[in-house]
Amino acid sequence: MNSFDRLRRDASYALRQLGRAPSFTLAAVATLAIGIGATAAVFGVVDAVVLRPFPFARPERVVVLQPTRDGAPVAAASNLELATWRERRRAFDAVAGVEPQNTFVLSRTDARGGEAPTVVTGARATADFFHVVGVPPALGRGFTAVDAAPGAPHVVVLGDALWHREFRGDPSIVGRTLRLDDSLYTVVGVMPAAFDATSAGDALWVPLALTSDELTDFRRRYLNVVARLAPGVSVEQATAAVAADERALAARFPMWGSGYAAQARRYADAAVGDLRARLFVLLGAVSFVFLIACVNVASLLLARGSARSREMAVRAAIGARRGRLVAQLLTEAGVLCALGGAAGLALAYALVRAAVRLGPPGVPRLDQAAVDGRVIAFTLGASALCALVVGAWPAARAGALRLEGALREGGRGGGEGRERQRARSVLVAAEVALAMALLSGAGLLVRTAWEISHVDPGFDPERVVTARILIPANRYPDLAGAATVYHAIAERVRGTPGVESAALASTVPLGGAIRSGVGAEGRPMTDGERLLADLRLIGPGYFRALHIRLRAGRDFAAFDDARSTNVAIISDALAAKLWPGEPVERAIGRRIEGMDPSHTHFMQVVGVVAGPRDVSLDQPPAPELYIPFEQAPPVLWRAVQGSLTVVARTRVPPATLTRAVRASVEAVDRGLPAPAVGTMDELVAASRATARFNTLLLSSLGAIALVLAGVGVYGMIAFAVGARTREIALRMAFGAAPGEIARLVVRRGLTPVALGALAGAVLAVATTRLLRAQLYGVAPGDPATLLVIAAVLLAVAALAAYLPARRASRIAPAAVLA
């Protein structure tokens, strides 16, 4: 008989054996399905977001070039840095600059023959951009050097999603013209669908035309620089080249200050960011669940092996070699894991869909996660590993079977049974240790979520509606005209029933802000010595609408306009940086300088506020600078692209005012794009989304581990009671009380649990360090968290031990010993 026939017969026999024990089979398959399915689902997400190459030609050669200062990345690069790095022809095949997240008003003709303006987000990119990424358009072409020449006809490349959403995937779109803002653009190409995941939300691309004079500008930092490495050049060599260039530029332009360098990072690493570490931690956590499931089923097989020890002994006595017995048990484990893997694959399908639907915003390529060929192959590998883990110990026990003892005891609790009991105790201790480590990580994240939920954000998000409005430059080319429209819209919103107050701002807290250098009058104010502050353009009443506390001075008033003295309100964090050690009240009346490279734009401080948290709730308030939007320099008004947000505090649920806010905009000017309406509560929820999602996932895995560990403890003690029935009966016959028997069973059952919890605490101290970047208000290996988790584990184990102990205390000695 060849090996294949032998394997087929063993598998058939294994199926028959499993069919004779449906309860055991169902429990084992369900346990393995949870372990394998959860692991496959997390792998599917990790594969889509982190492991799968970006859809570039040789994606490992595409890098992001980024200036650094004192080792920390600087927000963006300047035109001069782009021009300098372009000359590094030995290091790079091509270098491109991209200005992402520009807003455009796309105008189309509606069904009534009028214009239907829509706000879309797009990027401006230099001519080499599509050559750097190496992705040809699905239709048409990319940019040429002629397209990016100053004064060239306007062209645009569309993203696949925008093409389908606005133009219904019309293949004749190439060559047609469309209106963006106040200009006509010819569509020259459409990118493939896979490229949308790399575009940071950009729906279209237009050429970034830079003159020779503009390429010498080093003051304005707004570019993301991407490059394709030249053949044979490593990322480390590219970093050395651009860092040398950056240091040389800093020496030529002392206003940059000291500590400047630059780095090259693979595009995939830059795009994924800290998500890589977060997802690999999650994959490690779900691997613990997988191992716990395997250990649980191995423990079940050991118990079943004890019941079958006489069968194995008889088969060995009539001529079966030990190798055949081991092969049979390994085959049974393989069949069991294959069934668990099949069920796990169905579970993984549902879990991946749930992850895509419930995942936090901003995770690149999460929508591409699916149970595909790679996930199926991973599941097959996990099932094979499962078979080895699950079958190894029971098979080893069968290989060491003592025929005479097994035939004499018949599997009724002799020495063989005690050895199996010890083996199951070891497995339960391992389960508890893994569960302890996993639950400790979940506990730390739960505490982090609790701490963040109780952080004072510095503003009150409840009952605040926001509406971002974009006024196209072709309708209102200057700030004065746009300001009139904005004031009219804000006044209409204030007059809406249910609105307490309304104001205008370039952005709201947690919505991002422009960063600008600022310095105190009378001090050296070179760019290198300036402080970076978050800058917001606001109107009167902004702090009242958001309940931001004014600590000193006054709010802006209607007379703080383009004709009056330049004024500013600063946060207490900025005041402490500009005038350290002084009371914030001393800042009132002083002058600060910023927003203009000439160092001649001064503003008088008229107020100090308690700064809100802006980047995220788990980071302290950043230094902030507020100026009246009507006093914004032209370059700054262009930087915010003429867009302001109406912030309204309401007496009614904010969602009920969506239609009224949009009606206010339409009443002032029907030609304006519809505003993007939301609430501050939604922004706060979005800022917590990633931490909440991580906490939910790890807590779910921890709960599964806790249940599996409890089941394992129950199974171990129940097996021990069954194997030691005669011993218990003898103890009771000689006078042992039922309570003593119950305590003995619980004590013996909880001993491996306690040892496992101790080992798990040591493991938790080591593994929770991987969560350091995700924690807030609590440290890895926090003793209080470890003690609580250990107490929960012991409580669950005690509950699991109660039923077998109760059954043991009710054994009738006469019936057992008769």
**Mean pLDDT estimate for the chain:** 84
- The better pLDDT of the pair 579, 333 is held by 579
Distance in angstroms (rounded) separating the CA atoms of residues 224 and 228: 14
What is the pLDDT confidence band of residue 527, given thresholds at 50, 70 and 90? Answer: very low
Helices (H), 253-368: 267-272, 275-307, 309-317, 322-358
Helix (H, G, I), strand (E, B), or coil: what is residue 701? Answer: helix
Distance in angstroms (rounded) separating the CA atoms of residues 412 and 554: 87
User: What pTM value is reported for the model?
Assistant: 0.80
Question: 254 and 319 share a domain?
Answer: no
Structure confidence at residue 316 (pLDDT): 55
Cross-strand partners of 205: 123, 157
Cα dihedral 455, 457, 463, 465, rounded to 10, equals -140
Question: 636 and 698 share a domain?
Answer: no
Distance in angstroms (rounded) separating the CA atoms of residues 338 and 373: 17
What is the pLDDT confidence band of residue 314, given thresholds at 50, 70 and 90? Answer: low
Q: Residue 66 falls within a domain, yes or no?
A: no
Structure confidence at residue 410 (pLDDT): 46
Question: 116 and 84 share a domain?
Answer: yes
Answer yes or no: is pLDDT of 336 > 60: yes
Report pLDDT digits (tens) over 234-291.
999 999 999 999 999 888 886 666 788 999 999 988 888 878 888 888 888 899 999 9
- The better pLDDT of the pair 649, 446 is held by 649
Distance in angstroms (rounded) separating the CA atoms of residues 726 and 42: 47
Report pLDDT digits (tens) over 22-47.
878 888 899 999 999 999 999 999 99
| Spacing of C-alpha 589 from chain mean position | 44
Structure confidence at residue 306 (pLDDT): 57
Q: Residue 467 falls within a domain, yes or no?
A: no
Structure confidence at residue 18 (pLDDT): 78
Structure confidence at residue 775 (pLDDT): 84
Question: 636 and 757 share a domain?
Answer: no
**Among 513-527, 693-707, 750-764, whose mean pLDDT is lowest?**
513-527
Question: 695 and 667 share a domain?
Answer: no
Question: 667 and 812 share a domain?
Answer: no
712 Ramachandran zone, left/alpha/beta (phi>0; psi -120 to 50): alpha
- The better pLDDT of the pair 65, 363 is held by 65
Structure confidence at residue 573 (pLDDT): 92
- The better pLDDT of the pair 473, 104 is held by 104
Report pLDDT digits (tens) over 116-133.
688 888 999 999 999 999
Residue that is last in its domain, among 235, 258, 281:
258
Q: Residue 710 falls within a domain, yes or no?
A: yes
How many C-beta atoms surround the C-beta of residue 289 within 10 A? 25
Residue that is last in its domain, among 232, 258, 284:
258
What is the pLDDT confidence band of residue 718, given thresholds at 50, 70 and 90? Answer: confident
Sequence-ordered strand ranges (E) for 10-136: 62-69, 72-73, 77-78, 92-109, 115-125
Q: Residue 542 falls within a domain, yes or no?
A: yes
- The better pLDDT of the pair 817, 331 is held by 331
Answer yes or no: is pLDDT of 470 > 50: yes
Q: Residue 267 falls within a domain, yes or no?
A: no
Helix (H, G, I), strand (E, B), or coil: what is residue 260? Answer: strand
Question: 537 and 550 share a domain?
Answer: yes
What is the pLDDT confidence band of residue 739, given thresholds at 50, 70 and 90? Answer: confident
Among 639, 551, 567, 647, CA closest to 603? 567
Report pLDDT digits (tens) over 192-229.
988 876 666 788 999 999 988 889 888 788 899 999 99
- The better pLDDT of the pair 759, 392 is held by 759
Residue that is last in its domain, among 258, 282, 312:
258
Q: Residue 83 falls within a domain, yes or no?
A: yes
Distance in angstroms (rounded) separating the CA atoms of residues 44 and 33: 16
Please say whether the beta carbons of 780 and 761 come within 8 A: no
Structure confidence at residue 816 (pLDDT): 62
Structure confidence at residue 315 (pLDDT): 56
Question: 285 and 153 share a domain?
Answer: no
Summarize the confidence of residues 784-794 as an average pLDDT. 90
Question: 605 and 544 share a domain?
Answer: yes
| Spacing of C-alpha 536 from chain mean position | 28
Cross-strand partners of 97: 225
How many C-beta atoms surround the C-beta of residue 422 within 10 A? 11
Structure confidence at residue 304 (pLDDT): 67
Q: Residue 254 falls within a domain, yes or no?
A: yes
Question: 629 and 661 share a domain?
Answer: yes
Q: Which residue has the tokens 């070179």?
A: 526
Q: Residue 64 falls within a domain, yes or no?
A: no
Helix (H, G, I), strand (E, B), or coil: what is residue 618? Answer: coil
Question: 352 and 370 share a domain?
Answer: yes
Please say whether the beta carbons of 779 and 448 come within 8 A: no
Answer yes or no: is pLDDT of 404 > 80: no
> What domain range includes position 89?
72-258
In total, how many domains does the chain have? 4
Question: 430 and 380 share a domain?
Answer: no
Structure confidence at residue 817 (pLDDT): 62
Answer yes or no: is pLDDT of 411 > 50: no
Among 397, 401, 381, CA closest to 330? 397
Summarize the confidence of residues 786-799 as an average pLDDT. 88
